[in-house]
């Protein structure tokens, strides 16, 4: 069996046909993890005994039965898989019940055997949390970041440890690692996936779970088995017409595609990122879509300032609840600089100012919705630059606002992704270009609110026209350097 040549869908078919066992696939995943993780530091929490026990007890007869899988070390709460949440403050957090999304993943038959590295409490476009003893590195170039906050999942999937892994996305945290690691990442419409029972919503509705995959069909399958509201959800996404996998069965109708080669505020991007967007536009035109230059007219900087305030308040709440639950004060080294800065910033935000920030996010969503009355898809680069070098966005600094909003901050580096966390629209990163140095550069596609199936169909069409599955990083034995 050529483990690297198969996505999760194909591996599940082998198990269903009796041509491979879940234990054999887990052996392959663990062998690959041992071979690469000394370099990558992508999977700090390994639960092999738990995975073996679940296999021995009998896996559910789901569509992904027997496929090895990893949870991000943030969210996806599960009784059998304690978490650090990327933080020394939250080391070995244990849960008294399973989250709805984990229950759905387990019911699909996946074999979870570890948790992947994330930055502390999910803040930032890199994965360099102190709790893991060092940064998580990119298998395409270990001097570069795999992105964040689902960077451990991105690195593990790109390195072939698993064909797919769980992530989450509150400002691009699935799409940024997808771009940085040469993978496919899809952020669904707000509330498409369940948040309960531990939360009603994340970051005022801007955060949602997702997946890092090598194939579009794996993301479609994972979204099909996890989508839909859970018990007591405060609001629901518009129902799907047929489902994500069904959307891949036929190409999309000719679409009106808006091409934005700059940031949303009109600033230039790295030439490789601009070239990626231009090449994607040419491909879409060849596929029969109408491509025209256009840039949304909205208060993008105001949106990002509001996003920054909301995330600061969410960070402060998480820290306060953890400290109160254990009953003793916070120690100086338990929280890193950026999170300390976020909590300090939150203390200056009154209740009415917080609600004002939420209102600005909603106003931004309404303004962006007007743009999508005239366009079906917005095409941009995923990032303004190729993957950053390790250390550039380290979490040791305390000026949280400058970290996010400064001239060399996160917003300048990732000016596209958070917009669609604010609007709640579906968005995806597709790996279509590699730099001369072999670094992946993603292309970002966003669709109107609720049009997840349209976007998935377009991504499938792009994959068929410009396949990327066989491009493997040099770190992988036998892999080809792109």
Active-site positions read 72, 149, 173
Say whether 93 sits in a helix, a strand or coil: strand
For 436, residues 6+ apart whose C-beta sits below 8 A from its C-beta are none
- State the DSSP code for 240: P
Q: For the chain, percent helix, then strand, then coil, each to nearest 5?
A: 40, 15, 45
Side-chain-side CA neighbours of residue 23 (13 Å): 8
Asked whether the CA dihedral 43, 430, 459, 263 is positive or negative, the reply is positive
Give me the torsion for CA of 165, 478, 430, 31, rounded to 10°: 0
Q: Does an H or E element contain 46, and which?
A: strand 45-46
**C-beta atoms surrounding 79 within 10 Å:** 12
Q: How far is CA 425 from the centre of its chain?
A: 15
φ, ψ at 367 (rounded to 5°): -65, -45
Rg, Å, the chain Cα set = 20
Asked if residues 174 and 157 have their Cβ atoms less than 8 Å apart, the reply is no
Asked if residues 247 and 454 have their Cβ atoms less than 8 Å apart, the reply is yes
Asked whether the CA dihedral 139, 141, 144, 147 is positive or negative, the reply is negative
For 336, residues 6+ apart whose C-beta sits below 8 A from its C-beta are 87, 120, 129, 130, 395, 396
């Amino acid at each position: 069996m050529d483990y690297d040549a198969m996505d999760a869908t194909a591996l599940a078919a082998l198990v269903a046909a009796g041509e491979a066992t879940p234990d054999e696939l887990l052996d392959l995943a663990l062998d690959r993890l041992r071979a690469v993780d000394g370099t990558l530091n992508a999977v700090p929490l390994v639960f092999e005994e738990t995975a073996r026990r679940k296999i021995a007890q009998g896996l559910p007869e789901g569509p992904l039965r027997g496929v090895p899988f990893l949870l991000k070390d943030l969210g996806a709460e599960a009784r059998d898989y304690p978490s650090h949440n990327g933080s020394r403050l939250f080391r070995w957090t244990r849960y008294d019940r399973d989250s709805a999304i984990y229950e759905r993943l387990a019911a699909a038959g996946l074999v979870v055997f570890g948790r992947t590295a994330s930055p502390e409490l999910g803040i930032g476009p890199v994965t360099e949390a102190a709790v893991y003893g060092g940064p998580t590195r990119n298998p395409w170039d270990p001097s570069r970041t795999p992105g964040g906050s689902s960077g451990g999942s991105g690195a593990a999937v790109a390195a072939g440890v698993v064909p797919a892994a769980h992530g989450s996305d509150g400002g691009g945290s699935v799409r940024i690692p997808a771009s940085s690691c040469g993978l496919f990442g899809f952020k669904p419409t707000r509330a498409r996936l369940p948040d309960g029972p531990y939360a009603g919503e994340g970051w005022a509705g801007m955060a949602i779970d997702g997946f890092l995959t090598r194939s579009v069909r794996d993301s479609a399958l994972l979204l099909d088995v996890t989508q839909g509201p859970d018990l007591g959800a405060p609001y629901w996404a518009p129902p799907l017409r047929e489902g994500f996998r069904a959307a891949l069965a036929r190409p999309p109708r000719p679409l009106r595609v808006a091409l934005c080669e700059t940031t949303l505020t009109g600033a230039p991007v790295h030439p490789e990122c601009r070239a990626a967007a231009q090449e994607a536009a040419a491909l879409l035109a060849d596929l029969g879509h109408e491509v025209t230059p256009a840039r949304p007219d909205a208060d993008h900087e105001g949106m990002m300032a509001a996003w920054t305030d909301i995330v600061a308040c969410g960070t402060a709440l998480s820290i306060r609840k953890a400290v109160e639950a254990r009953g003793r004060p916070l120690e100086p080294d338990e929280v890193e600089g950026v999170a300390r800065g976020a909590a300090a910033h939150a203390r200056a935000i009154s209740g009415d100012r917080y609600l004002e920030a939420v209102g600005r996010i909603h106003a931004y969503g309404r303004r962006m919705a007007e743009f999508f009355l005239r366009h079906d898809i917005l095409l941009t680069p995923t990032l303004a630059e190729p993957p950053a070098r390790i250390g550039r966005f380290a979490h040791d600094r305390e000026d949280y606002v400058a970290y996010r909003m400064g001239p060399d901050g996160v917003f300048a580096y990732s000016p596209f992704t958070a917009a669609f966390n604010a609007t709640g629209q579906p968005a995806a990163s597709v790996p279509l270009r590699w730099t001369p140095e072999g670094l992946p550069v993603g292309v970002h596609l966003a669709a109107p609110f609720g049009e997840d199936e349209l976007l998935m169909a377009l991504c499938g069409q792009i994959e068929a026209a410009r396949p990327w599955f066989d491009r493997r990083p040099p770190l992988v034995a036998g892999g080809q350097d792109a």
